Amino acid sequence: MSELASKATKSDADDQLASKRSQFLLDGDVYLDGNSLGALPASVPGRLEDVVRREWGELRIRSWEESGWWTAPERIGDRIAPLVGAAAGQIVVGDSTSVNVFKALVGAVRIATAERGAGRDEILVDATTFPTDGYIAESAARMTGCRLRPLAPADVPAALSHRTAAVLLNHVDYRTGRLHDLPSLTAAVHAVGAIAVWDLCHSAGALPVGLDEHGVDLAVGCTYKYLNGGPGSPAYLYVRRDLQDRFDSPLPGWNSHAEPFGMRPAYEPAPGALRGRVGTPDILSMLALEAALEVWEGVSIDTVRTKSLALTDFFLECVTEYVPEGRVESLTPVRHEERGSQVALRCEDAATVMKHLIARGVVGDFRAPDILRFGFTPLYVTYSDVERAARALAETLAP
């Protein structure tokens, strides 16, 4: 056994999260694509069977009340809350990330302009982010009469001014895995009186976010990456408690009404986080997510972060040791404060290389034009997985 393989075995033996792996249904593959679609938690299939056969099939319409369907968006929001450093009552689950970005950004502009005047006419958006945020931000800007300014996150502080209404940033860059400095960027946004909106898709469940601690105003995120909610599972919206009364949603569906079953012609928004709801929640996807969240029982997100950094450090170490020099170049920051839970390697013929890797049972993904992307989910990825992945990469790239 190589030195690194021995080190992996030892690290696995010492891993505080090791027992969590058995709560997922895994096969012999090394799955490093949990930052795209999390693996299947063992609790999901049985729970979903019960939701379908008993709650839908037998109780039918009664389940809206008796099975707690109606309150699922806020109940599951409260379950996500501790993972992103939020107290209860500030998150609702539902809709896609894109739809939530729209709600959050329009809501943010309305708060900023209502309070601080019509001169607030700019939205700053992370130009390096996952593109949907930029597309939706463009629509939000157009529909609120704002100008959209796409910028690299590093250029945001210098661009902030009394004209800034809202700033939309991604906590971790989906491509490079770079972690942005949420506390200092949020503080900078607040210093000019603007509203900070964060996209947590690539950080929630992988590292501490500290929404409440850092005074984030609004946040959105998906649940199918590190939260393992299943393909296209519903996203969530965080609205900080003291902003909820001022949150004026552009999608005021009947689920966000103060009295949804009053069927009243005039809209009156519900108090609290419920104001972020829109239409009837997609119960099957939502309750699969709820079951998936059970794996977080007793898990500290700090422990997750410690293992995540150890995994990415170890992967980079193994790559350096195994892969012929010059064949790959890491785009992921070396400094822990700037690293999410993935490693992006620039590589010639990356698309083909990833195909070969997958054929060898190491699943990452390819991002155009030349990136091999590996995500590390601390709940089920082992150090031995990491060593095997680097070894497979080296073998794939061997001359």
Query: Which of positions 35-64 make contact with a copy of itself (CB under 8 A)?
Result: 36-37, 39-40, 44-45, 48-49, 52-53, 55-58, 60-61, 63-64
Q: Does 98 bind a copy of itself (CB under 8 A)?
A: yes
Q: Does 217 bind a copy of itself (CB under 8 A)?
A: no
Among the listed residues 199, 217, 365, 385, the single catalytic one is 199
Q: Return the residues of window 275-334 that contact a copy of itself according to CB under 8 A.
A: 278-286, 288
Q: Is 225 among the catalytic positions?
A: yes
Among the listed residues 31, 102, 130, 314, the single catalytic one is 130
Nearer to a copy of itself, 9 or 132 (CB): 132
- DSSP structural state of residue 208: -
To the nearest whole angstrom, how small is the minimum distance from the Cβ of residue 187 to a copy of itself? 27
- How would you classify the pairing of strands 147-151 and 122-126? parallel
The Cα 253–Cα 274 span in angstroms is 11
Q: Is 174 among the catalytic positions?
A: no
Q: Is 315 among the catalytic positions?
A: no
- Sequential DSSP letters for 7-40: HHHHHHHH-TTGGGGGGB---SSEE--TTTSPPP
To the nearest whole angstrom, how small is the minimum distance from the Cβ of residue 3 to a copy of itself? 31
Among the listed residues 224, 226, 366, 380, the single catalytic one is 224
Q: Does 69 bind a copy of itself (CB under 8 A)?
A: yes
Q: Which residue among 111, 227, 363, 381 contacts a copy of itself (CB under 8 A)?
A: 363
Nearer to a copy of itself, 131 or 324 (CB): 131
Q: Is 261 among the catalytic positions?
A: no
3-state SS, 329-348, equals EECCCCCHHHECCEEEEEEC
- How would you classify the pairing of strands 236-239 and 195-199? unpaired
Q: Does 172 bind a copy of itself (CB under 8 A)?
A: no
Q: Does 159 bind a copy of itself (CB under 8 A)?
A: no
Residue showing tokens 């709560």: 23
Nearer to a copy of itself, 278 or 323 (CB): 278
Q: Determine contact, residues 122/109, Cβ cutoff 8 Å.
A: no
The Cα 388–Cα 361 span in angstroms is 10
Nearer to a copy of itself, 38 or 186 (CB): 38
Give me the torsion for CA of 85, 14, 293, 185, rounded to 10°. Answer: 30
Helix (H, G, I), strand (E, B) or coil at 315: helix
- The token duo for 182 is 């949420």
Q: Is 373 among the catalytic positions?
A: yes
Q: How many helices (H) and strands (E) does the chain have?
A: 12, 13
Binding part of the chain for a copy of itself, among 5-13, 133-141, 179-187, 390-398 by CB under 8 A, reads 133-141
Q: Does 232 bind a copy of itself (CB under 8 A)?
A: yes
Nearer to a copy of itself, 298 or 369 (CB): 369
Q: Residue 152 forms beta bridges with which residues? A: none
To the nearest whole angstrom, how small is the minimum distance from the Cβ of residue 325 to a copy of itself? 29
Residue showing tokens 């007793």: 298
Phi, psi of 17 (to 5 degrees): -95, 5
Question: What one-letter code names the amino acid at 291?
Answer: A
To the nearest whole angstrom, how small is the minimum distance from the Cβ of residue 102 to a copy of itself? 6
Nearer to a copy of itself, 103 or 339 (CB): 103
Q: Which residues are marked as active site?
A: 130, 199, 224-225, 373
